[in-house]
Amino acid sequence: MDLVGHIEEPAIKEGCSILQQICAHYEWLGSYPKAESSDTVGEHV
């Protein structure tokens, strides 16, 4: 699942906590900065 937000935001933190309780497998892969522009999505440089 891909989420927009940071793990420390209350809504994201609560949602992830709930997922940990109800999912057979839960793994946090990390937080990454949001891209500055979507103009380059799908373009190869």
pLDDT tens over the chain, length 45 residues: 888 888 889 999 999 999 999 999 999 888 887 777 766 556 655
**Distance, CA of 29 to CA of 31 (rounded, Å):** 7
pLDDT of amino acid 42: 61
Amino acid code (one letter) for 18: I
Q: Among 24, 21, 29, which Cα is nearest to 1's?
A: 29
Sequence spans of domains, the chain: 1-26
pTM of the entire structure?
0.61
